[in-house]
Amino acid sequence: MNVSVLKDYEAMSKAAAEKIAELVNANPNALVCFAAGSTPIGTFEILADLAADKKVDFGSCKFVGLDEWVGMDKTDSGSCQETLWKTLFLPLQIKEENICFFDAKAKDLQQECQRVDQYIMDHGNIDLMLLGIGVNGHLGFNEPGVSFNSLSHVVNLDQNTKSVGQKYFETERELSKGITLGTQHIMDSNTVILIANGAYKAEAVHRMIHGEVTNELPATILQTHRECYVYLEEGAFRR
């Protein structure tokens, strides 16, 4: 685990974006997976600027979604898909046929899990993941107690996740289940980049880096990943 502490959110976002650009330039046909949410938005903005300046090209990349709230899709404001389309896919002019995302409104969610698992297998695992970390240490919707051998699955969301998740929506939404890639996908990926900002994340980040590897704080599994880069705004780093 390579940990870098940056002076502020902008510097953290820039460091992550430059590492992503470096990796994509080295592997233009990469299968990539980027988390939604508020933390990566600065990184996405810098990537869009780099792409506009011809310093990175995502045109040959394939994208797979990390997670989604069950019952939502890209037509739902605040959903993971809608957020990624607005902040990443449209600015980078990504073609829809190059994106594989969970249909979290599907009648058969287990079949959706199998479909996405097969997509990843067909592309030889994920080359690059950009993740955030939850206050409870989750990665995607891999909540405390998750099996470290998990592939795509439907999960009953942790109370903390349900509470924090309301910030993405203009009106209160019923958030009970999520659908997510599993920790096995994360561990099988070639490179993981994790970003975190804000003092409220400091405890989870500290345990992720220094704590015992345990599924009670899923992010601790990244201690054993073969190539993991962690970029922290200094407020999220407890010395």
For position 69, what pLDDT does the model report? 86
Q: pLDDT confidence of 170, banded at 50, 70, 90?
A: low
Q: pLDDT confidence of 11, banded at 50, 70, 90?
A: very high
Query: Active-site residue among 136, 160, 190, 215?
Result: 136
Query: Active-site residue among 143, 185, 197, 233?
Result: 143
What is the per-residue pLDDT across 41-85, written as a single tens digit (0 to 9) for each? Answer: 999 999 999 999 999 999 999 999 999 989 998 988 889 999 999
Geometric angle at alpha carbon 207, from 202 and 14, rounded to 5°: 50
Query: Active-site residue among 76, 138, 142, 197?
Result: 138
Of the options 3.30.460.80, 3.40.50.1360, 1.10.1060.10, 3.20.20.70, the CATH number for the domain spanning 1-188: 3.40.50.1360
Strand pairing report for 62-64 and 99-100: parallel
Q: pLDDT confidence of 36, banded at 50, 70, 90?
A: very high
What is the per-residue pLDDT across 188-237, written as a single tens digit (0 to 9) for each? Answer: 999 999 999 999 999 999 999 999 999 999 999 999 999 999 999 999 99
Q: Where are the domains of the chain?
A: 1-188
Query: Active-site residue among 67, 68, 82, 112?
Result: 67
Amino acid at 209: I
Q: Give the pTM.
A: 0.95
Strand pairing report for 177-180 and 153-156: antiparallel
Amino acid at 130: L
67 tagged catalytic: yes
> How much is the mean pLDDT over the chain?
95
**Which whole number is the average pLDDT over 126-133?**
99
114 touches 122 (CB < 8 A):
no
**Which whole number is the average pLDDT over 5-19?**
99
